């Protein structure tokens, strides 16, 4: 930490000004939230002073090389808000949000003086955002079910407890060398996390805002699940077949972008080979979705009931399937060459495109693994199979109006996806 005596005036003014602005930012939010209240509450001036207090106390501690001034300020501010809290509780107006946000503002001001400017600003902005999201967070909590809570806890368990204790090494010669418990479980957590985030977004934003949003978020969570759900609903709600088709195509298109993102996180070289092959069908799908939107603008809004995609047993099943596919791909490479990998990829894509994509991405990451070009082409075979299967779901389960709306785009998307096989 730089000594205060060595700081020039411009640096000091910049840090104090930044602390002041952070206090003003948080204070604006607090004062806005109390505009309809008749009682006096801390606002812009108070929080601006809190930012300056934090910065000044940090300066004083630095000048005398002692933490006492900063500690004293924290104690005084804490004592003041403790008394305020008990008085408010006595009047039936208890609440800890404002005192805690004031304390964070003081700490942000101190961090800014100590040279952690970016961290202090981020802390202030994050605090303001959290304070502003009160209606949304309350609405989100009200929509939660007991099953949602249990699913969240299970996700925390597999991420924070199970993952760290798994051994990070392989066992046995090829093709058994693919069995690395830590890596396998990490990928299970990764793909489960993607679906979980998509589900949370649907919960927060609400699928009732439109089928386009449903398709977008459903594509992040599971394009296959969204396809099945909307196909079944189209038989009962035939008048919504066109919006359902729009949502399905958006979900199918997002699947290609999501798959590219998954691969890029693990293997950038493989992602570069897949860039054009996955973006072309993604663009074709979105273009057809735009066509559906333009030719049939509907004011209908439908709320899709989306089940929490994270459950412990399906995640364990996914891990087992992933391991089997990983082993089968490695064995196919060892004993059958590239043709065996292609066959395994196509058949696996009928079940789950994410599992085979993760398997091939993992196997192509290393000198002794699958050649990246072979892995890229195999992933495209899996996407062809997966896209074909979802199209068959529509043709078999969907209402006639949904089939009519989907069929031209489905044929175009299949052609674009198969073209991706040849350009990888």
Average pLDDT over residues 133-141: 71
The residues near 211 (Cβ < 8 Å, ≥ 6 apart) are: 240, 243, 244, 246, 247, 300, 301, 302, 304
Last residue of a domain, one of 92, 111, 132: 132
Residues 121 and 262 in one domain: no
Last residue of a domain, one of 109, 132, 155: 132
Residues 127 and 193 in one domain: no
Residue 316, in any domain of the structure = yes
Question: Could you read off the pLDDT of 277-296 as tens digits, one per residue?
Answer: 999 999 999 999 888 888 76
Residues 342 and 267 in one domain: yes
Last residue of a domain, one of 132, 159, 194: 132
Residue 323, in any domain of the structure = yes
Domain count, the chain: 2
Residues 255 and 358 in one domain: yes
**pLDDT exceeds cutoff 70 at 79:** yes
Q: What is the pLDDT of residue 21?
A: 92
State how far the alpha carbon of 108 is from the alpha carbons of 23, 40, 234, 308, 367, in Å: 9, 24, 53, 37, 47
pTM: 0.53
3-state SS, 163-221, equals HHHCCCCCCCCCCHHHCCHHHHHHHHHHHHHHHHHHHHHHHHHCHHHCHHHHHHHHHHH
Question: Could you read off the pLDDT of 291-302 as tens digits, one per residue?
Answer: 888 876 644 444
Residue 138, in any domain of the structure = no
**pLDDT exceeds cutoff 50 at 103:** yes
DSSP 8-state symbol, 116: -
Residues 55 and 83 in one domain: yes
Residue 73, in any domain of the structure = yes
Q: What is the pLDDT of residue 303?
A: 47
3-state secondary structure (DSSP) of residue 138: helix
Q: What is the pLDDT of residue 359?
A: 74
* Mean pLDDT, the chain, integer: 77
Lowest mean pLDDT among 195-204, 222-231, 378-387: 195-204
Residues 176 and 47 in one domain: no
Residue 284, in any domain of the structure = yes
Among 380, 385, 370, which residue's Cα sits nearest to residue 336? 370
Residue 137, in any domain of the structure = no
Residues 66 and 187 in one domain: no
Structure tokens at 407: 């069929």
State how far the alpha carbon of 182 is from the alpha carbons of 138, 319, 360, in Å: 37, 11, 17
Residues 75 and 163 in one domain: no
How many beta carbons lie within 10 A of that of residue 167, not counting itself?
9
Residues 152 and 94 in one domain: no
Q: Which domain holds residue 19?
A: 4-132
Residue 25, in any domain of the structure = yes
Q: What is the pLDDT of residue 301?
A: 47
Residues 124 and 152 in one domain: no
Residues 19 and 165 in one domain: no
Residue 140, in any domain of the structure = no
Residues 93 and 219 in one domain: no
Structure tokens at 401: 């109006």
């Amino acid at each position: 930490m730089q000594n205060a005596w060595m700081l020039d005036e411009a640096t000091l003014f910049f840090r104090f000004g930044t602390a002041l602005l952070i206090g003003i930012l948080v204070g604006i939010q607090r004062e806005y939230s109390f505009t309809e209240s008749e009682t006096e509450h801390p606002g812009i001036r108070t929080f601006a002073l809190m930012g300056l207090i934090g910065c000044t106390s940090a300066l004083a501690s630095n000048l005398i090389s002692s933490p006492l001034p900063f500690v004293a300020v924290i104690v005084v501010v804490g004592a003041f808000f403790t008394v305020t809290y008990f008085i408010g509780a006595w009047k039936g107006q208890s609440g800890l949000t404002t005192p805690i946000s004031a304390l964070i503002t003081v700490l942000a001001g101190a961090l800014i003086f100590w040279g952690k400017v970016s961290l202090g600003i981020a802390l202030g902005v994050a605090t303001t955002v959290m304070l502003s999201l009160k209606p949304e967070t309350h609405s989100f909590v009200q929509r939660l079910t007991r099953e949602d809570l249990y699913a969240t806890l299970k996700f925390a368990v597999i991420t924070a407890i199970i993952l760290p204790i798994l051994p990070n090494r392989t066992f046995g010669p090829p093709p058994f060398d693919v069995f690395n418990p830590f890596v396998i479980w990490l990928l299970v957590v990764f793909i489960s996390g993607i679906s979980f985030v998509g589900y949370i977004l649907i919960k927060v934003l609400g699928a009732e805002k439109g089928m386009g949003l449903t398709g977008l978020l459903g594509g992040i969570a599971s394009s296959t699940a969204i396809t099945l759900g909307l196909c079944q609903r189209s038989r009962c709600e035939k008048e919504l077949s066109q919006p359902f088709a729009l949502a399905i195509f958006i979900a199918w298109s997002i699947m290609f972008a999501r798959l590219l993102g998954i691969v890029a996180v693990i293997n950038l070289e493989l992602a570069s080979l897949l860039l054009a092959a996955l973006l072309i069908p993604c663009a074709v799908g979105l273009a057809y979705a735009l066509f559906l939107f333009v030719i049939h603008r509907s004011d209908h809004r439908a709320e899709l009931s989306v089940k929490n995609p994270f459950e412990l047993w399906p995640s364990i099943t996914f891990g087992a399937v992933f391991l089997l596919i990983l082993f089968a791909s490695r064995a196919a490479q060892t004993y059958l060459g590239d043709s065996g990998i292609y066959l395994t990829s196509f058949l696996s894509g009928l079940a789950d495109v994410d599992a085979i994509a993760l398997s091939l991405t993992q196997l192509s990451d290393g000198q002794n693994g699958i050649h990246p070009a072979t892995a890229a082409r195999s992933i495209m075979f899996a996407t062809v199979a997966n896209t074909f299967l979802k199209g068959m779901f529509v043709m078999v389960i969907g209402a006639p109006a949904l089939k009519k709306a989907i069929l031209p785009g489905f044929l175009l998307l299949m052609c674009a996806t198969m073209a991706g096989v040849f350009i990888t």
